Structure 1
Amino acid sequence: MLGLPKGEVFLVPWTEDWSKEFLSEKERIQNKISRFIEDIHHIGSTAVKGLSAKPIIDIAIEIKDFNDGKHCVIPLESLGYSYKGINILPDRHYFSKGEPRTHQIHMYQTGSNFLVEQLKFRDYLRSNGDARMEYQELKIQLLKANKHNKHKYADEKTNFVNAVLAKI
């Protein structure tokens, strides 16, 4: 299942379909903007086997030069993405796809601290079952408390993420 309607927050169990969807979308993106891309990563909870997640595929695209992001807008719009600009989330071009939203692109310049931290956190959860389960339990608690407030839900995960990043 993919898609999260506006204003809602819910989790679904991890599925191999998310990995397949990422790979398929990665290929479509590469076919449109490959000349700007250094790498494409599957990030967020859908990228961590066994972790329940909001059913949105988060994609991190590394580009050589941050300003190249503006050259990617029209090609990505042809794939159904909507460009949200550079002021929604720090240090990135942000795109979303679908209504309900099924995919998000976070486009970073190679070396971005935000990208490095995303990849470190993802990889830590992939290799540490205890941390993965602790994070899942936290997400379930926060979901119960913030079912209709996605921003509060996301913000309240920050302490856990920062604690993990501080020790790796």
Structure 2
Amino acid sequence: MAPQPAEDVVIVPYDAIWAGIFRFERRRIREALLPWVQEIEHIGSTSVAGLAAKPIIDILVGLRRLEDARECIPRMEALGYEYVPESKLHRPLEGRQFFRRVDEKGLRSHHVHIVAVTSEFWEREILFRDYLRWHPHVARQYEQLKRDLAVRFRTDRDAYTDGKSAFIRTVQDMAREERDKKKPR
């Protein structure tokens, strides 16, 4: 695959088509990874109805065992995804495999994170997504933060991502606390 072009951070209004794009990809990925896949979830801002986002579909693939992720690499590549090893990224992968796909213009269109379905990464991503879905006022705060950061760090994806980190951790903590309060004792 050709080197990834530098891309500006651009936030666009929510597009209902994102859910359909995810469903299509989920079906393709499930068929390709059938021996290992346990769950596939739509995560990130494109998974939250009404939330403005970078137009990149984030997909979380949960395997029974992370050790099986290596077997998934050639199958994901056959679907048009590029495997991106940790050595090519600016941040650690935290027990996951990462893939990306670009559109006909060479811009990122999909990110796929392959993890063990029992991993902390899986839990954090689902908690964050669900909390934003259940708390629209928090989703609006997140959207405003992303818009502000996109203006400030338009040409620096890493700074944009780092700028969201504290907010995301806070929301994940609130989501975990809310979930734990609902658990029967």
- Fold agreement, TM-score > 0.5: yes
Count of residues in Structure 1 that have an aligned counterpart in Structure 2: 165
Aligned equivalent of 2:130: 123
Residue 122 of structure 1 aligns to a residue in which SS?
helix
Greater C-alpha Rg: 2
Residue 35 of structure 2 aligns to a residue in which SS?
helix
1:97 to 101, 125, 130: 101
TM-score scaled by length of structure 1: 0.94
Stretches of structure 1 that go unaligned for 5 or more consecutive residues are: none
Which string of whole-angstrom CA distances, capped at 9 and with x for unpartnered residues, describes residues 122-160 of structure 1?
000001011011111111111111000011001110111
Q: Structure 1 segments of 4 or more deviating over 3 A? A: none
Cα distance between partner residues in 1 of 2:76 and 2:17:
22
Which string of whole-angstrom CA distances, capped at 9 and with x for unpartnered residues, describes residues 68-106 of structure 1?
111111111111001112454221000111121111110
Cα distance between partner residues in 1 of 2:54 and 2:19:
14
Stretches of structure 2 that go unaligned for 5 or more consecutive residues are: 176-185
Cα distance between partner residues in 2 of 1:61 and 1:100:
22
TM-score scaled by length of structure 2: 0.85
Structure 1 residue 143 and structure 2 residue 147: aligned?
no
Cα distance between partner residues in 1 of 2:28 and 2:173:
35
Instruction: Note the C-alpha offset of 1:7.
Output: 3.0
Cα distance between partner residues in 2 of 1:82 and 1:19:
22
Aligned equivalent of 1:17: 17
CA contact (8 A) 1:146 1:152 kept: yes
Cα distance between partner residues in 2 of 1:119 and 1:50:
18
CA contact (8 A) 2:84 2:98 kept: yes
Percent identity over the alignment?
Answer: 33
Structure 1 residue 6 and structure 2 residue 3: aligned?
no
